[in-house]
Amino acid sequence: MKNYNKFTSYLYILPAFLLVFLLLLVPMFQNIYYSFFKWDGISKPIFIGIGNYFQLFKDLNFLTSFLNTIIWVVFTLIFPVFGGLLIAVFLRGIKFGNFFKSIFYIPITISFVATGIIWNYMYSREIGILNTFFSLFGLDKISWLTNVPLNTFALLITWTWQQLGVNMVLFLMGLTSIPVEQTEAAMVEGANKWQVFIHVIFPMLRPITTVVIVMATANSFKVFDLIYVMTRGGPHRSSETLAVTMFRETFTMSNMGYGAAISVVLSIIVVAISAVYLKNMLKKDLLYY
């Protein structure tokens, strides 16, 4: 009976396992395999060992792309994550809170492609609402998406607009789970609101903060659609991130092997950062509790 139950459990996970195996693991290993080849996607692949990986370090565009990715990660941690936390804290218990929550959450329900198109129009030099608004004050028109490095920050503003909502919801969940007694006790002891937040609420939010940071970091590393729709990584490759460079090398330039190598490096960075962060945070959580 015990064995039968075990077998049933395996059967239940089999469909999910097969999906992951076929659609994630097999392509993943295939991708690693192709990263050792020079291949245009049509002709016969030529084995070049770690040649593609060496090429990465000589490629200035890869370095620009890497730096842009770091900017994306840092900006994401400051604005969408910290902003989400602030909004969650200030929205707790205010009048019309649900209304504001909905307002902040709506952007995440829109696809990245649609978001990109909408913001493209908003950033349009000639017909965009932003330049129209600024022109009311006699300001010059700005080329938001083609001035370097302004274009990267214009993309990050769009990204923040969309990502704030999801982080806000996650932090709200965390805030709801904090027992009221603890904050009340701190206030009875004479702590002001700021002290309560720093010494009681924020430490108790650590598990959810860990989740938000890991998710936000991983998402910012792999951001592609928004950049592709809005600037295609341009002008002159100035707003490319690693995911966009990977796409460009693979599908525009038909350098399948080189594109695969970029994606392997990207995956290693994301997994390594997430693993180190999670390990440290879990250790702290164990100490804390």
d(CA 171, CA 166): 9
- Please say which residue, 23 or 198, places its beta carbon nearer to another protein: 23
Phi, psi of 223 (to 5 degrees): -60, 130
**Could you tell me the smallest distance in angstroms from the CB atom of residue 37 to another protein?**
10
CB contact at 8 A, 150 and 123: no
- For another protein, the closer of residues 55 and 160 by Cβ is 55
The minimum distance between CB 19 and another protein, in angstroms, equals 11
* Residue ranges binding another protein (CB under 8 A): 3, 6-7, 10, 14, 18, 21-22, 26-27, 30, 41-45, 121, 124-127, 141-148, 231-232, 234-237, 247-248, 250-254
Whichever of 143 and 219 has its CB closer to another protein, that residue is 143
Sign of CA dihedral 155, 158, 160, 162: negative
What percentage of the chain's residues is helix, strand, coil (to nearest 5)?
75, 0, 25
Structure tokens at 144: 């938001």
In the complex, minimum distance from the CB of residue 106 to another protein, in angstroms, rounded to a whole number: 24
Cα–Cα distance for residue pair 70/287, rounded to 1 Å: 30
Q: Determine contact, residues 222/46, Cβ cutoff 8 Å.
A: no
Min. distance of Cβ 119 from another protein in angstroms?
A: 13
Instruction: Decide whether 174 or 259 has the Cβ nearer to another protein.
Output: 259
Q: Are 261 and 35 in contact (CB under 8 A)?
A: yes
The nearer residue to another protein, 45 or 83, going by C-beta atoms, is 45
CB 142 → another protein: shortest distance, Å? 8
